[in-house]
């Protein structure tokens, strides 16, 4: 797949919660080819402060625009939150290996934690609503990123909040277990897709492996180049893999659960 560098116009930059924003970026070159699970490297400022581009999952496309859903956590994302419509940022992408789509009539279970919902919104938009269930967990009701604000056609999202202020009271993995438990040991035709904080990913991964459910995880790692050149984003591969490490940027960010050494993550 062709990787492009584009100077992209900011079409909108909308605050969704106290610390998350949705940015629309005019990108005719990438919007047509990007796949769910892929990401872009954003140069948030034309100078060299911050020096490094920041990686963001593509959370959807609208006509010639790429959507990025981002949480303000530090310098780069604070600069992004101040950007106005009409300003430009430089993008490199689409990068990485995205999600493999489930076969035929398989039921996909999408499990998101916090801002990890971004690539799963994109995945949901490419599937028939009857072919997936979407579970998303947030700290509290105020943190919820609502499907209708991002991807109107992402269907129903079953919500969990840690403090019980909306939806299921507890972790999103509790919602997943409640869905799987009555089905007993047989899980034919089910596949899992997940993105979120590492402890959540680990729990979903172990659950999937114990029940022998195919599962793809989207990982995050500190990234400098995003292109497989700097080795900064290495994660330890599972013991049965042919290689000791994978690069999250070029081998992932989406991996089958069995490819990763979950004891080291």
Ligand X SMILES: Cc1cc2nc3c(=O)[nH]c(=O)nc-3n(C[C@H](O)[C@H](O)[C@H](O)COP(=O)(O)OP(=O)(O)OC[C@H]3O[C@@H](n4cnc5c(N)ncnc54)[C@H](O)[C@@H]3O)c2cc1C
Contact between 135 and 217 under an 8 Å Cβ cutoff? The reply is no
Q: Do residues 45 and 79 touch, judged by C-beta distance below 8 A? A: yes
The per-residue DSSP string of 191-239 comes to EEEEES-HHHHHHHHHHHHHHT--EEEE-----SSSSSSS-TTEEEBPT
Please, which residue, 74 or 189, has the CB nearer to ligand X? Answer: 74
- Of the candidates 9, 232, 241, 256, which one interacts with ligand FES according to CB under 6 A? 232
Q: Which of 62, 75, 183, 243 binds ligand X (CB under 6 A)?
A: 75
Residue 247 binds ligand FES (CB under 6 A): yes
148 with 123: CB under 8 angstroms? no
Over the window 176 to 215, marking each residue x when it contacts ligand FES by CB under 6 A and - when it does not, the resulting string is ----------------------------------------
Burial 183-196 (b: 16+ CB within 10 A, else e): eeeebeebbbbbbb
Residue 231 interface partner, choices ligand FES, ligand X, none, CB cut-off 5-8 Å depending on type: ligand FES
With a CB cutoff of 8 Å and minimum separation 6, the contacts of 207 are 173, 176, 177, 180, 213
Under the binding rule (CB under 6 A), the answer on residue 138 touching ligand X is no
Nearest Cα residue to 97 out of 258, 249, 224 = 249
**Interface pick for ligand FES out of 140, 231, 243, 244 (rule CB under 6 A):** 231
The reply to whether 107 sits near ligand FES by the rule CB under 6 A is no
Indicate whether 159 belongs to the interface with ligand X (CB under 6 A): no
Q: Is the peptide bond before 253 cis (omega within 30 degrees of 0)?
A: yes
**Given the rule CB under 6 A, which of 75-83, 151-159, 165-173, 180-188 is the region that contacts ligand X?**
75-83
Strands 168-169 and 157-161: parallel
Does 229 participate in binding ligand FES (rule CB under 6 A)?
yes
Stretch of 59-67, 75-83, 169-177, 223-231 lying at the interface with ligand FES (CB under 6 A): 223-231
Given candidates 74, 152, 164, 244, which one binds ligand X under the rule CB under 6 A? 74
For position 244 contacting ligand FES by CB under 6 A, the verdict is no
| Best CA proximity match to 145, nearest among 176, 110, 117, 174 | 117
Q: Which residues bind ligand X (CB under 6 A)?
A: 39, 50, 54-57, 69-71, 73-77, 115, 118, 220-223, 253
Residues that bind ligand FES (CB under 6 A): 223-226, 228-233, 247, 249
């Amino acid at each position: 797949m062709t990787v492009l560098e584009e100077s992209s116009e900011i079409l909108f930059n909308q605050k969704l919660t106290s610390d998350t924003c949705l940015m629309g970026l005019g990108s005719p070159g990438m919007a047509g080819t990007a796949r769910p699970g892929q990401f872009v490297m954003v140069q948030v400022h034309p100078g060299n402060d911050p020096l490094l581009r920041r990686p963001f999952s593509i959370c959807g496309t609208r006509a010639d625009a790429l959507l990025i859903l981002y949480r303000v956590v530090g310098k780069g994302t604070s600069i992004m939150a101040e950007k106005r419509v009409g300003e430009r940022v430089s993008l490199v992408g689409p990068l990485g290996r995205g999600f493999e789509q489930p076969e035929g009539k398989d039921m996909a279970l999408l499990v998101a934690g916090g801002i990890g919902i971004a690539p799963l919104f994109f995945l949901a938009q490419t599937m028939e609503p009857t072919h997936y269930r979407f579970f998303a967990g947030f700290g509290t009701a105020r943190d919820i990123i609502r499907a209708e604000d991002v991807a109107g056609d992402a269907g129903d999202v079953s919500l969990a909040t840690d403090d019980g202020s909306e939806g299921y009271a507890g972790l999103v993995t509790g919602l997943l277990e409640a869905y799987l438990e009555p089905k007993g040991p047989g899980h034919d035709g089910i596949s899992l897709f997940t993105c979120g904080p590492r402890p959540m990913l680990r729990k979903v991964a172990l659950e999937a492996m114990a029940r022998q459910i195919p599962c793809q995880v989207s990982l995050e790692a500190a990234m400098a180049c995003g292109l497989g050149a700097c080795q900064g984003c290495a994660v330890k591969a599972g013991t049965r893999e042919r290689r000791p490490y994978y690069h999250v940027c070029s081998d992932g960010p989406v991996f089958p659960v069995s490819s990763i050494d979950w004891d080291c993550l």
